[in-house]
Amino acid sequence: MGIIVKDKVFTIHTKNSTYQLKVDDKGVLLHTYYGARTDETDYSYTIMAADVGFSGNIAASVDDRTYSLDFFPQEYPVLGSGDYRVNCLEMDLGQGVKDCMLFYDSHTIYSGKYSLPGLPALFAEEGDNVETLEIVMKEDKEEVYVHLLYGVFFDADIITRAAFIENKSGKEVSISRMMSAGVDFSHSDYDMIHFHGRHANERNMERVPLFHGIFELRSTRGTSSHQHNPFVVLAGKNTNEEMGECYGMALLYSGGFHMQAEVDQRGYARLVMGIDDSDLDWRLADGDIFTVPEVMMGYSKDGVGNLSRSYHNAVFHHLIRSKWRDRQRPVIVNNWEATYFDFDGEKLLDIASQGAKLGLDMLVLDDGWFGKRDDDYSGLGDWVVNEKKLGCSLKELVDKVNDMGLSFGIWVEPEMISEDSDLYRQHPDWAFVVPGREPIRGRSQLVLDMTRDDVIEYIEQRLFALLDSANIQYIKWDMNRSLAGTYSGQLRCERQGEVRHRFVLGLYRVLEDLNKRYPELLIEGCSGGGGRFDMGMLYYTPQIWCSDNTDAIERLRIQYGTSFAYPMSSVSAHVSVCPNHQNGRVTPFKTRGICAMQGTFGYELDLSLMSDEDKELAKEQVETFKKHYRLFQFGDYYRITSPFDNPDFTAWEYADKDGREAYLAVVFTDVHGNPLPHMVRFKGLVPDGSYKVYEDGAVIGSRTGAALMNAGVLLPIPKESYDSTSFYVSMEG
C-alpha cells in the first residue's frame, strides 16, 4: 500500500517517489522528506535544531530556544505561529488579528480518492491503486479544524493535495489566505521553471535560479491568465529533459492563483500554491466549510521529460472525464479566421462543402451567429439565433451540414454581456459594476455575475435551448476579458472578498450541469486562446484552444511550453492562412499542418480559397492525422529540441507506450548557406527491435531501435524558410 503510518510518522509511497510528514512531540505537523522512493525511516533526523536569533518559540517550546517554527520544515504553515516565511493560512478568529496555531488532532486512511464538492479533482477508476490520507489539524484555542487531504496515485507517481476548513467555533471567522499546499525543502539549490506570456504569446518557458527572498507568480485577473500559468517545476541545477531530479506543482483551478517560492535565512526553500488571495476575505459562518482547490504534485529523478509524461498520463486517465477522452475527435474547420463576422448561411455551407471534400469531420460556427452581433461591441447575452443573417433556422443549417457528412459545432461566450444587448437593458444589475462607478470594460464587454443563481439559471436555459434546437455535437466555450470591479449586488459589502472565487464556482456549476445533461457533447475551452489553459478546465473540457496565435512558428514555442504539464491531446491547434493574420508570416502549408498535428488538429481558414496544391496537401494531412491518431492521442510525448535553445530547428516525438512505433516531426526555424548536417535521435523505442523507417511517408530503409535512439536519423537539407519533415518508424514482424 502507498500510505504507511508508524508512531505518527506518515510515509507516502508512489511507484518512484516517497513523501513523508511527522507529528512531533508538541503536536506540530512537520514535513520530513519528498524525493526518490526510499524506505519508512523517520527522516526528521535531518532537521537541525538550533538557537537562531529572532526566531520565536511557541508556548510548548518556551524553555527550548532551539525549537522554532521560523525555520523548521512544516506541512501546513500558518500565520501566527512565529513563522515569518510565506505561509498557507491566514485567518482572523474574531479578534481583528490574523492569529492561528494548528496542532494534530486525528487522521484517517481509506481506499480510493477524495472528492471536492463543486471543484475539479483527480478521480480513481475501478481497479486503480489509489488511497486517501486525511489529517485533521485543530486550532489551539478555537473549535476550528483544518482537514489536509492527500490523494496517492501509486502507479501514476502523483500525489494530490487539498484542504478544507470546518468552523465549529460558534462564531464567524474570516479567511484571507488559504493555500492548497506547501512543501518545504532541505536546501535551495534549485531553478524555478515557469511559463509566462501574454495574449497570443502564452506559456513561454523560463528558467531562473531561486534566490534569498521570494519568487512569486500570481494572476489577479480572475482567470489563470495568459500572463502566467498555474504550473511550475522546481528543478536541480543540472536537471534536463532526461536526467536529474525535479518537482512539479499544478493547481486545478481556473480563477486567479498565487505561487510563492521562498529561500529563507537558513537556505531552505519553501513552495506554496493556491487561489489568489490579493482581495480574498471569506466569511465562514459557524457550521460552514470552506474548501480550496486541489494541487497535483509530481516528482522525477529522471528529468523533466519524465515528469511531464507522468502529468500527461495522470491528466488523461484521472482528470479528463469526457467520453471524448477515448474517442477519435473530429478534424474540424472553424470559420473564424475565414470570415470573422462577415458570413451568411451560404458562405458557411460553401466552407462545409469544401471540408467534406478534404475529409474533414466537422464545421464549427464561431462568433456572430446570434442577436445583434456583426462586431464585438454588441449582442453578448442574447443567445438567440439570427435567422436573418443565416438565411434559415439553425436546425436547417445544421441539417444541411450533416447531409454533407459533417457534424456541427458552435461558439458561445456565456460568462459575458454586452451593454448593447437586450439582456443588459433588462438586467443591468446582472453585470459586475461597482455602484456609482464607471465599469472597467474589456473587449467592449462586461462580465456576468455568476455568483447569482438567477444568472446561472438564465445561462443554462439559453444553452440548453440552443443545444436542444439542432444536432450540435461540439461547443467552443470562450471567455474574452479579465475580471475587474467584481461587485455583486447579491452579497453584503463585507462579503465582496468572496466574489472572485464564487464566480469560478458558478462557472464550474454550469459546466458540470452541461456535461451531465449532454454527456456526448464535446466541449472545447477557450479564453482568447490560452488565457484559461489550466487543469481545472480540463476536468470539464477535454481540449482547450491553445492560443489565438495560429502562426505555426510561434505555436512551436507556445505548444512547447504547454507540453510541460498538459497532454498534447488537450491542445487544440489549427492550420491557418498565410500571410498569418496575427504576424504576417508566410509559412509552407506542409509545415502548418505538421505543427497543428502536434495537437487535436483542424483548419481555421476559407477552404474555398485554397489552391489545388494546398487542397491535395490538406487531404494528405487529414489522412496522416487519422492514420496515426492513436499514436498522437495515447502515445508518450518527447520534447526532442527546444525552440528557445535551438535556433535551427524544433523537433518533437510521439512514441507508442510499448515502443512499437513512433512519429517524429521537425520544423526548420532557420536556414543557412552550406548547411551543417544534423542528426536527431528517437526516444522510447525497443533497442533490439527492427523498425521500418519512413520519411515524409516514403520508406527509406530499416534500422534497429538502438541505432535510431543512439545515432538517430539524418535530417534533410531544408528547401525553403520554415520547411519541415517527419519520420515514422514501425517495428517489423
- Which residues are designated catalytic? 478, 548
> H helices of 574-715, where?
589-596, 612-627, 629-634, 705-710
Dihedral over alpha carbons 238, 242, 245, 249 (to 10 degrees): 110
CA distance to 31, 40, 102, per residue, from 23 (Å): 9, 15, 11
Cross-strand pairs, 536: none
| 312/264 Cα distance (integer angstroms) | 33
Separation between Cα atoms, residue 543 and residue 76, nearest integer Å = 33
Report how far residue 610's alpha carbon sits from residue 652's, in angstroms, rounded to the nearest whole number: 28
Distance CA 699, CA 691 (A): 11
Integer Cα distance of 168 and 82 in angstroms? 25
If DSSP states are collapsed to H, E and C, what string results for 434-468? CCCCCCCCECCEEEECCCCHHHHHHHHHHHHHHHH
Strand 543-545 versus strand 571-572 pairing type: parallel
Measured CA to CA, the distance from residue 372 to residue 379 in angstroms comes to 5
Residues 663, 653: Cα–Cα separation, whole Å:
6
| CA pair distance 392, 346, nearest whole angstrom | 10
Nearest CA-CA partner of 482 in 276, 224, 251? 224
Q: What is the DSSP string of 172-213?
A: -EEEEEEEEEEEEES---EEEEEEEEETTEEEEEEEEE--BE
